[in-house]
A and B are shown apart, each in its own frame.
Chain A
Amino acid sequence: MDIMVFAGLKEKIGGTHVTLDIKNEPTVKELKETVYRQYPALEGDVFQVACNESFVKDTHILSKTDEVALIPPVSGG
C-alpha cells in the first residue's frame, strides 16, 4: 500500500511516499501501527490519516484504491 507523506514526516523518511507491507483493507489504526513498525524513525511523531482528501478516524477501513496520506499537525496561515 502506497501512502503519501508531507513536511517533517517526508524529511524523516527521505521520500514523498511510503510503501507499507500490510494486509488488504486495514483499519486506520492498523495502518498507523504498521507505519511506526516499518519506520521507527517516526516514533514520537503524531499524524492524522486522510483518505481521499478527508480526515478519517482510527476505525475507518481503507481500501487499495483509496488515496491515503499521513497528515502531520498543520501550520498554515
Chain B
Amino acid sequence: MKQYEIVDTPIDINKYHSYTVNEVQGAVCMFTGHVREWTKGTRTVHLEYEAYKPMAESKMAQIGDEIAQRWPGVITTIAHRVGKLEISDIAVVIVTSAPHRKDSYQANEYAIERIKEVVPIWKKEVWEDGEEWMGHQRQYHSSVEEE
C-alpha cells in the first residue's frame, strides 16, 4: 500500500488502520465513505468513480501535509477507490492517528472536507432511468484559486 493512493479494487481498511499505529499514538480515527442507495428519494443503482490518478494522489498527500501542520503529531493515510462501485462498497477510507483522540477526530473531518474540495476525483451516479456526473454540490474552494 501507499500512504495516499487511488485503487481500483475493494479497499482493505485494516492495512490503512495498521499503518497509522505506533507507540506514541493513543487514538486512531477511521472514516469510511460508502455508496448510498438512496439520496433525497432517488435510488442509485451503482456509482462510477474516475480520478486523475497522479494529481489525486499528490493532492491527498498535500492534505496530509496540511493536517501535520495544523495538528502536529497526527499520522494520516487516505485511499480512494475508482471504477464501478456497488451499494455499500467503500469508496474512501481516511485514517488519522494522534497521541490523543481530539486531534484524530478533527484531522479526520478536515481530510474529508478537503478531499471534496481539491482532489480530482469524480463520481457518476447511475439511476434506473439515467445517469449524471456529480460535482456541483460544493464547487471550488477559495484555496484552489490561491495556488
Inter-chain contact B54/A53, CB cutoff 8 Å = yes
Q: Which residue of A lies closest to B116 (CB)?
A: A77
Tell whether B9 is near chain A: CB-to-CB under 8 Å: no
Tell whether B140 is near chain A: CB-to-CB under 8 Å: yes
Inter-chain contact A74/B33, CB cutoff 8 Å = no
Give the dominant DSSP class at A's interface. mixed
Which residues of B are found within 8 Å of A76, using beta-carbon distances? 49, 51, 56, 80, 91-92, 115-116, 119-123
Interface bin, chain B: 20 to 34
Tell whether A35 is near chain B: CB-to-CB under 8 Å: no
Inter-chain contact B140/A72, CB cutoff 8 Å = no
A-B contact count (CB 8 A): 82
Given contact pairs A6-B50, A50-B55, A69-B52, A75 touches B121 in the complex (Cβ within 8 A): yes
Given contact pairs A50-B52, A50-B55, A53-B54, A74 touches B118 in the complex (Cβ within 8 A): yes
Tell whether A39 is near chain B: CB-to-CB under 8 Å: no
Interface bin, chain A: 20 to 34
Tell whether B40 is near chain A: CB-to-CB under 8 Å: no
A7's partner among B54, B115, B133, B140 (CB-CB below 8 A) is B133
Nearest Cβ distance between residue A74 and chain B, in whole angstroms? 6
Tell whether B137 is near chain A: CB-to-CB under 8 Å: yes
Tell whether A38 is near chain B: CB-to-CB under 8 Å: no
- Top 9 closest pairs, chain A to chain B, by CB: A76-B121, A7-B122, A73-B135, A8-B133, A53-B55, A75-B134, A75-B135, A75-B123, A55-B147
